[in-house]
Amino acid sequence: MAQVGITIQDLQGLARVGKEEAIETLTALGFPTEELADGTLDVEVTPNRPDALSVEGIARALRAYMGGKPDRYDVGKPSVSVVVDKSVLPVRPAFCGAVVRGIRMDDSLLRSLMQLQEKLHETLGRKRRKVAIGIHDMARVRPPFRYFACGQDGVSFAPLEMGRRMTPGEILRLHEKGLAYAHLVGKLCPMITDSDGEVLSFPPIINGERTRLSEKSQTLFIDCTGTDGAAVRQAASIICAALADRGGKIEGILINGKPCGILAEKRRSIPLAKAETLLGVKIGKSKCAALLSRMGYLVSGSSLFVPGYRTDILDDVDVIEDIAIAHGFNNFEPTLPAAATIGSERPQDLCHEAMVGLGYDEAVTWLLSNGGMAGNAKLPPAPAARIENPLTADFTLFRQAIIPNLLNVLSESKNERLPIRIYEVGPVATPHLGKRLAFASMHPKASFSEIKGAVCALCETLGWEAGFEAAEYGPYAHGRCAKVLINGTGAGFFGEIAPEVLVAFGLEQPCCACEISIE
């Protein structure tokens, strides 16, 4: 969840709503809201709703829900062009943008824009890897603009917060943002310049000082660059919608002579029959249209138009979820199921009880992984269930073991109080799916004896007959590993984590761990 801080004055100015009513309505819409001691509102926004990562987006959702009328945005004809050079295509090929005129800039809008930009970088932009956004004062530069790639010494300009000109290479070595995001660029650096050769931005690293926004800024140029064309268009649409809500006039741009297309509405058929089946209530056409209008959709006949700033509507189920939200979850009447069944405990349920009883806390980690984590854990090569079209290099296969995930959790918890004892029950694929239990303990005295004691206690609690054999296996230290036999069958391994594995995960304390099959 992303935390968005807004002031009640901003929200009331944009949505004309009282504080208590806003908190209650936003919570009903799926945005839990809390008033902080300083009078600001803290709104939790799920990652699938980047359009609500600003006070403008939150107010837009409130206006539609309370007034039953969605906002629509006009995009003026392009008067500014951008040339995307072939040199940048192998580096960061996607580009989109817009011009917004007639802005009345003030401190609250500046703060909101900065927050929205950074929240989009973290969520939709995948920490700027997928999308990076620049917002510029157009009064300081002259179009047309050029987007190209150059060497690390190819140009020089004054980046934000620096009083001198620097080359891209110097920025990557010396500037705070350069150090933080240098891993996103290589020898070729993306650049955006104006017709005079002045640099607007070095995406995805830093904007130029020349186009810094101020309370005098009235015409803004928005650039969105990245690796995914749809994502950069979505980011540009969200920024433009927010500025339009503040009174700005949106104008498209030409990219290599063609409109880039922002805030384009997508037409879909209203899934009325499917909604009534899934939700278990009779809705009817007119009520369904009213509910969808309250969620920001334009409805015409049997069709609806998804706003261009909504990035989360991928399937009919997403539309049906909005119908359910507008209907109100408290308004669904609970009914008893038509068939009676008798439940029974599953092995994983018993494992949860046993591990909590042993003092372990549950961890829930990603089911998708990559070869790097398995390599760091020194897991032996095994067939993998690979993702055919992974969206990111972080998730290329279904995890083959849980231990690497737990070690990663421990590496991110180094500043927490010791001892840390965690466990997870979940599926793995090698390449066929199986269910496993893994648990790990980290503290100065973590040892083979400790983890063996936990395995023995687990097996005794669950009524399993346990046996052990000396073994050597991937992540465990030589001479500090054993194979677990449950009811005479090999089920997994446990032991002390090897020093080289601790180093690979950045761990500074001894760890012991176990992973066993529970099917």
> What residue type is assigned to position 102 of the chain?
G
Biggest CA-to-CA distance, the chain: 79
Q: CA–CA separation, 493 vs 34, rounded Å?
A: 46
Q: Which residues lie below 8 Å from residue 105, measured CB to CB, with a gap of 6+?
A: 213, 214, 215, 216, 217, 218
Give residue 84's pLDDT.
97
Give the residue carrying structure tokens 């830093």: 206
Classify burial at 330, counting beta carbons within 10 Å of its beta carbon; exposed 0-12, middle 13-18, buried 19 or more. exposed
- Strand, coil or helix: 389: coil
Beta-strand pair 199-202/206-207: antiparallel
* Residues 208 and 171 sit within 8 Å (Cβ to Cβ): no
Best CA proximity match to 411, nearest among 508, 512, 494: 508
Please give the structure tokens belonging to residue 360.
């372990």
Beta-strand pair 75-84/145-150: parallel
Q: Which residues lie below 8 Å from residue 256, measured CB to CB, with a gap of 6+?
A: 82, 83, 84
Residue by residue, DSSP assigns 158-184 as -BTT-SS-B-HHHHHHHSHHHHHHGGG
- Strand, coil or helix: 470: strand
Q: CA–CA separation, 261 vs 133, rounded Å?
A: 16
Q: CA–CA separation, 159 vs 147, rounded Å?
A: 17
Q: What is the pLDDT along the chain (519 residues), one digit of tens a residue?
A: 789 999 999 999 999 888 899 999 999 999 999 998 888 999 999 888 999 999 999 999 999 999 878 889 999 999 999 999 999 999 999 999 999 999 999 999 999 999 999 999 999 999 999 999 999 999 999 999 999 999 999 999 999 988 899 999 999 999 999 999 999 998 999 999 999 999 999 999 999 999 999 999 999 999 999 999 999 999 999 999 999 999 999 999 999 999 988 999 999 999 999 999 999 999 999 999 999 999 999 999 999 999 999 999 999 999 999 999 999 998 998 888 788 888 776 667 788 989 999 999 999 999 998 878 888 889 888 888 888 887 777 788 899 999 999 999 999 998 889 999 999 999 999 888 889 999 999 999 999 999 999 999 999 888 888 899 999 998 999 999 999 998 888 999 999 999 999 999 999 999 999 999 987
> What residue type is assigned to position 466 of the chain?
A
Residue by residue, DSSP assigns 242-287 as HHHHTT-EEEEEEETTEE---S--EEEE--HHHHHHHHTS---HHH
**Beta-carbon-side half-sphere exposure of residue 186 (alpha carbons within 13 Å):** 5
Residue by residue, DSSP assigns 318-353 as HHHHHHHHHH-GGGSPP---SS-------HHHHHHH
Q: CA–CA separation, 292 vs 288, rounded Å?
A: 6
Best CA proximity match to 64, nearest among 370, 347, 307: 307
* Residues 203 and 95 sit within 8 Å (Cβ to Cβ): no
Does residue 259 have a cis peptide bond before it, meaning omega lies within 30 degrees of 0? no
> What residue type is assigned to position 400 of the chain?
Q
Best CA proximity match to 53, nearest among 3, 103, 125, 107: 3
Q: CA–CA separation, 138 vs 136, rounded Å?
A: 6
Please give the structure tokens belonging to residue 164.
């001198």
- Strand, coil or helix: 217: coil
DSSP state of 144: S
**Beta-carbon-side half-sphere exposure of residue 159 (alpha carbons within 13 Å):** 22
Q: CA–CA separation, 201 vs 65, rounded Å?
A: 38
Domains assigned to the chain: 2-67 (3.30.56.10), 75-259 (3.50.40.10), 266-328 (3.30.56.10), 347-517 (3.30.930.10)
Give residue 68's pLDDT.
75
β-partners of residue 428 are 434
Give residue 423's pLDDT.
96
Give residue 210's pLDDT.
95
